[in-house]
Chain A
Amino acid sequence: ETGVTQSPTHLIKTRGQQVTLRCSSQSGHNTVSWYQQALGQGPQFIFQYYREEENGRGNFPPRFSGLQFPNYSSELNVNALELDDSALYLCASSLPQRNTEAFFGQGTRLTVV
């Protein structure tokens, strides 16, 4: 148990729809990072939030957006879903610049049909 919880655990959406995934960070961790893990691949960095501001972004289009709330929980929003967005979405919480203590949630499995 890492203390990082993600919801929902599984989700099926239709191409073109929008989805919101949620993450509650470990107590005291004010930095949240999101990753996309396609089947058979390593996780790919989407973006990171620190104190409610985006603090870094990977090579993902603007239809991937996020929020961080004052309690440090976070949301990942994906608009105009595409079939290739089907993946496991992982959230990790940490202290800033201390990814030695980054803890991952169990992930949300998104299937786009």
Chain B
Amino acid sequence: GEDVEQSLFLSVREGDSSVINCTYTDSSSTYLYWYKQEPGAGLQLLTYIFSNMDMKQDQRLTVLLNKKDKHLSLRIADTQTGDSAIYFCAESIRNSGYALNFGKGTSLLVTP
């Protein structure tokens, strides 16, 4: 599929907020997702947002969606060292059974 774009790296200090940005491609995507991948592991679904929403908050996570610009962001409040991982943005692919089109991932490093 076409590219879902993410910045490759982000470094923050423990306790600060992290913001990971994503630009997606398909304006008809029903759901947009954020996944987390730790070294050597599979993908963990963090949160998702329905395309008719602008914002979703889930504990330390806040997702913002700008449909006009096809821009999605994930804010992690009070970032901890355990949040260090790769974060993937994904959109659903309507003509493939709602399978997922992923970005290349943003590597988040949280320093003490």
Contact = CB atoms under 8 A, between A and B. Distances in A.
Interface residues of B, number: 26
Interface residues on A, range: 20 to 34
A55 B104 CA distance: 24
A113 B44 CA distance: 30
By secondary structure, the B interface counts as strand
Contacts of A59: 1
Nearest to B88: A42
Contacts of A110: none
Given A42-B4, A48-B96, A58-B96, A103 B45 contact: yes
Interface string A93-113: 000111110111111000000
By secondary structure, the A interface counts as strand
A55 B1 CA distance: 16
A104 B42 contact: yes
B42 A55 contact: no
A72 interface: no
B91 to A, nearest CB: 10
Contacts of B103: 42
Nearest to B50: A100
B74 to A, nearest CB: 15
Contacts of A63: none
Interface in A41-63: 41-45, 48, 50, 55-59
Interface of B: 1, 4, 31, 33, 35, 41-45, 48, 88, 90, 92-93, 95-105
